[in-house]
A and B are shown apart, each in its own frame.
Chain A
Amino acid sequence: MPATFTRNPAEIERKDPGTGGKPPLDRRPTGGGGDGENWGDHSDGHHGPRELLIRYRLGVIFALAGDLMFFVALVSAFFVRQSTGHFDVHDNYINDWRPLAVPTILWLNTAVLILSGVTMEMARRQLFREIDVMEEWLGMGRPAVKRAAPWLGATLALGLMFLDGQWIAWVQLTHEGFRFMSTDPSSHFFYLITGIHGLHLVFGIFALAGALIGLFTLKKIEYRQVAVDCTAWYWHTMGLFWVFLFVLLEFFQ
C-alpha cells in the first residue's frame, strides 16, 4: 500500500490501537495515495488521519461532480439557445442571437485565476511535506503552517483580484449596452455564467479564509490538512471550470 506509513502491512499486523494515529503524508505531493479500494487488507475498526482526509476528499469530489453537471446543463442550454429561432412570414429562419464582444480584461482575469491555482497548490503541498508534518505532529513547532500561510494568503488575494476583474468586465459590458435585463440571449448567458461562477468563487473565498484561520486555530495537523486540502480541490475545480467557461464565452459566441 503506497503513499503513507500509517497503512503498511506491518502496521496492520501490529493492530494499532487507534491512539495517536500519525497524520497522512507522502513523499509524492498528493498526500493521499491511490489505493483505498483494497478492503480485504483494511484493519478493523480503526479510523486514522488518512481515512479522515480521504473521507472529506471524497465528499468534496462528489459534491463537485454534481456541480459539474450544473455547469454542463448551462453550457448545453447555451448551445441550444444559440441556434433556436423562428420563421418569419417570408419563410426565412430568424435568430435573435447577437454575439457578445467579450471584454479583454477576461484574459487577464483568467491568467490571475490560473496563477491563484498555482499558489493554492503550493499552499497545499506545504501541508504534506514529511519532515514538517512529523514536526507538527510531534508538537515541536508549526513549520508547515508557517510555510503554507503566505501561499494561502496569496491565493486569497488573487481570488479577490479575479472577482474584482469580473466586476470590471460587467461594468464595461453594461456601458456597451449589454445589460442583463435586456432581450439579448447572449448577454443573459454571459451574466448568468460569470455570475454563478463568481458566486462559487465567493464561496471559495470564504473557504480560503476559513482554511487560513483554521491553519492557526485547528488543534490537530490532520484537521489543518483537511481544511487546506479540501479548499484546494474546490479551488482547482473552479479554476478548471472557468477555463472551459471562458473558452466557451470567448470563442463560441
Chain B
Amino acid sequence: MAFPRINAASFWVSVVAFLVLISGAHIKGGSAISGWASYPPLSALPAAGPGQGLGMDLWLISIGFFCIASWLSAVNMLATILGERRAGMTWSRMPMTVWGWLVTSILSLLIFAVLLATAILLFSDRHFGSSFFIPMGDMIDGRIVGHGDGSPLLWLHLFWFFGHPGTYLAVLPGMGLATSLFANFTRRRVPGYRVMAGGMVAIGGLGLVVWGHHMFVSGMNPWAGTAFALTTMAIAVPSTIEVIGWLAMLWGGGLRLKTPMLFALGFLSFFIVGGLTGPILAQPALDSYLHNTFFVVAHFHLVMGMAGVFAVFAGVYYWYPLMTGRMMSETLGKLHFWISVVGVYGTFLPMYFAGLAGEPRHYDRLAGPATSFPTLIPLERGITYSGIVLAAAQLIFIWNVFASARRGRVAEENPWQASTLEWANVAEYGRIENGPYEYELQSGGERFHPQWETAAKEE
C-alpha cells in the first residue's frame, strides 16, 4: 500500500458513514423513504413524507462521508498500483484481480466527487433556500412549495453519472477475481490476457457514458436517448469478450471444483443470465414498457448484485487460508454454494416473468387497476420462499467463517497451488520474471511457475 494510513482512514470513514446511515432508523420520523436514487423534489422537501426531514439529512451526510471514504481509497489504490509494483512487474504481468481494482479505482475517483457535489447541492436546496432541483410550482398536499426554476432532471443526470458506474464498482473486482480463479482452478493461462484486461478497461470507460439509459422515460430528449442506447448496447461487446474468454478457459479445462471455483462459476452464471437482458433494457422502446418493473430488478440483481456477492464469497473462500492459516470447511462451503445458487435463481429468475407481466417495483401494495396480478401470486410466493432460503443459507457461511477459524484444517503453504504473489513467502522472492498465470496442464501432472520463482524457466 502506498498510503496505509489513508487506507485505514478510508475504512473508518466508511464505518462513520454506515453508523450515520443506520442512525436514521432510530430518530423521530425514521430514515429517508425516497430510495437510493433519492429523486427530487420529494427528497428536497421535508414535507414530502416521514423520514424526509432529519432522516433525509442524515442520509445525505452519510453519503458525504462515504464519498470521502471512497475517494481516499481510490487515491491509495491508484498510487499503489501505479507506484508500488515489484521490480519487473510490468503491466502485462499484473494479476487480473489488480486490473479489476485498477478500473474500479479510476471509476470511484471520477464518480464519487460528482455524487458529493450533487449531495451538497441537494442539501443546499433543503436548508439554504436554493432551488437547484426544485421546479417552479411544485406542490405537496395542495400547497405550492417550489420557488425557482430548478430542474429535477439535473439531479437525475448528476446522480446517474455516479449511479451507473457505481454499479460497476460492485462487479469489476469480481470480474478480475473470477478470471484469476478460473486460471488457477483449471490450471490454464488466461487466453488473450491483454484483451481480457482491455475488456475490463473498456467496460469501465463505456460505463461512464451510458447513464442516460436510466432516464429513458424521464422526459429526456429522444435524441439523447438514442445516443445513450447506442453507448449502452456497445457495452455488450467488451462484456461478451470477457464471457467468451472465461468460457474458453473452462472449455475442456481440468476443472477442480473446490468451493472458491464453484462460487466463481456461480458468478459467471449470474453474469450471463443477468447480462443477456442488458441489451433488451438498453433500447428506449422496450424500456418504456419494462422501466421500473421487476424485469429491471431481476436484471441488475443477477448481473451486478448476486454476481458481485458470489465473487465476494469466492474471494473469502479463496483467501481465507491466507488470513487465518486454516482452510474453510469444503463440505459446508459446497452446501452453502448449492443452496445459495438455487435460492438466487428461485428469487430473481421469476422476476423476469413478473416484470414482463407488467408488475411494477417499489410498491408495497398494488391496488386499483393494478389488481390484475392475482395470477402472479404463486410466482411471488415462490420468490418469497426462495428469498428466505437464500438468506438462511448465509447462516451456513457465517458459521463456516467463525468455526473454521478455530477448528479448520491447518492450511499447507500455498494450498491452491497459486502462482500470484500474495501466496509467496516474502523473504524468498526478488524480481518478477513471468506472467501471473503460468500454469501448465500436462499428462505427467501439473506444473506451474509462481511469479516469485526467479529460477530460469525450462525452455
Residues of A within 8 A of B (CB): 36, 39-40, 42-45, 51, 54-55, 58-59, 62-63, 65-74, 76-77, 80-81, 84-86, 94-97, 180-183, 185, 188, 192, 196
User: Which of B77-85, B191-199, B353-361 touches A?
Assistant: B77-85
8 contacts between A and B (CB under 8 A): A51-B83, A54-B83, A55-B2, A69-B109, A69-B110, A180-B128, A183-B148, A188-B131
- Bound-complex Cα distance A201 to B135 (A): 33
Q: Which residues of A have CB within 8 Å of B117?
A: 70-71, 73-74, 77
Contacts A59-B2, A192-B124 hold; do A66 and B88 have CB atoms under 8 A apart? no
16 A-B pairs besides A69-B111, A74-B117, A185-B130 with CB distance below 8 A are A40-B90, A44-B430, A58-B79, A58-B82, A59-B75, A66-B71, A66-B112, A69-B109, A70-B117, A74-B121, A81-B150, A85-B149, A86-B136, A181-B128, A183-B129, A183-B147
Shortest distance between the CB of B77 and any CB in chain A (Å): 9
Q: Which residues of A have CB within 8 Å of B158?
A: 73, 76-77
B76 at the interface (CB under 8 A from A): yes
Shortest distance between the CB of B133 and any CB in chain A (Å): 9
- Bound-complex Cα distance A45 to B87 (A): 7
Residues of B within 8 A of A (CB): 2-3, 6, 71, 74-76, 78-79, 82-91, 109-114, 116-118, 120-121, 124, 128-132, 135-137, 147-151, 154, 157-158, 161, 430-431
Most buried by B among A40, A66, A71: A66
Q: State which of B83, B85, B113 has its C-beta within 8 Å of the C-beta of A73.
A: B113
- Bound-complex Cα distance A180 to B128 (A): 8
Closest A residue to B68 by beta carbon equals A66
Q: State which of A44, A54, A67, A77 has its C-beta within 8 Å of the C-beta of B113.
A: A67
Closest A residue to B151 by beta carbon equals A84
Q: State which of B71, B79, B137 has its C-beta within 8 Å of the C-beta of A86.
A: B137
- Bound-complex Cα distance A136 to B71 (A): 36
Q: Which residues of A have CB within 8 Å of B76?
A: 59
Q: Which residues of B have CB within 8 Å of A54?
A: 83
Q: State which of B74, B83, B161 has its C-beta within 8 Å of the C-beta of A36.
A: B83
Q: State which of B90, B113, B149 has its C-beta within 8 Å of the C-beta of A95.
A: B149
Q: Which residues of B have CB within 8 Å of A71?
A: 117
Q: Which residues of B have CB within 8 Å of A86?
A: 135-137, 149
Shortest distance between the CB of A37 and any CB in chain B (Å): 8
Closest A residue to B155 by beta carbon equals A77
Shortest distance between the CB of B114 and any CB in chain A (Å): 4
- Bound-complex Cα distance A55 to B431 (A): 20
- Bound-complex Cα distance A39 to B91 (A): 8
Contact A59 B74 (CB under 8 A): no
Contact B149 A96 (CB under 8 A): yes
Closest B residue to A86 by beta carbon equals B136
Contact B109 A66 (CB under 8 A): yes
Contacts A67-B113, A69-B113 hold; do A59 and B3 have CB atoms under 8 A apart? yes
Contact A182 B109 (CB under 8 A): no
Contact A185 B149 (CB under 8 A): yes
Q: State which of A66, A76, A188 has its C-beta within 8 Å of the C-beta of B130.
A: A188
